Structure 1
Amino acid sequence: MSKITLIAKLTAAEGKNDELETVLQGVCDASVEEDGLEIYSAHRANDQDGVYYFFEMYQDGEALAIHGKGDGMKAAMGKFGGLLAGAPEITLMTPLAAKGLDI
């Protein structure tokens, strides 16, 4: 089976950066023990205020599905509503080559 990577772009609602960052940290903390989740990292854009990205890598589609149904994600989804300027932009990919990642 192929590994799956995901990049999600989230844009904070006006004045909600700090609150969103707290929720993003909580999602990362809650995801630590998920089977099949290899990388789960939140990033703040350097050149765009209020723009955040997740980079995620899963062993396979089943691991991604488990993450989507996990307690951390369920809790976060309930908190994102008033913190985001719009829906997250999600791109699913298959890794081809990398340095420092076991693909």
Structure 2
Amino acid sequence: MWLYNVRDFVTPYNLTVAELVDDISALRNSVDGTSNDDAGIQTAQGAIELVPVNSNGLVYTRTPKQVLDVVTFGAANGAGGFFPNGVNGYFAASS
């Protein structure tokens, strides 16, 4: 709700908070596979998007592989994004 309340505030990046959140959402959608589950602050109809849910009202989920793709920005070798040197462990090995 706080992000919605400050959605028109212009950030130091010369984007509004709403635009910045929408850009982050678009990035996550572009790297987490074929789903388009992520959402910004508002729906296309202007409604507040507090929690993105599916048509049954259930919160979207991501598989461990999708989460890994988000944090590595979709790097095929698992090295990128927040983990430029790669990741290790169970989820990295299983993907």
Shorter-chain TM-score category?
0.3 to 0.5
- Greater RCO structure (CA 8 Å; 6+ sep): 1
Instruction: State the TM-score, normalized to the length of structure 2.
Output: 0.38
TM value normalised by structure 1: 0.35
Structure (1/2) with the larger strand percentage: 1
Q: Which has the larger radius of gyration?
A: 2
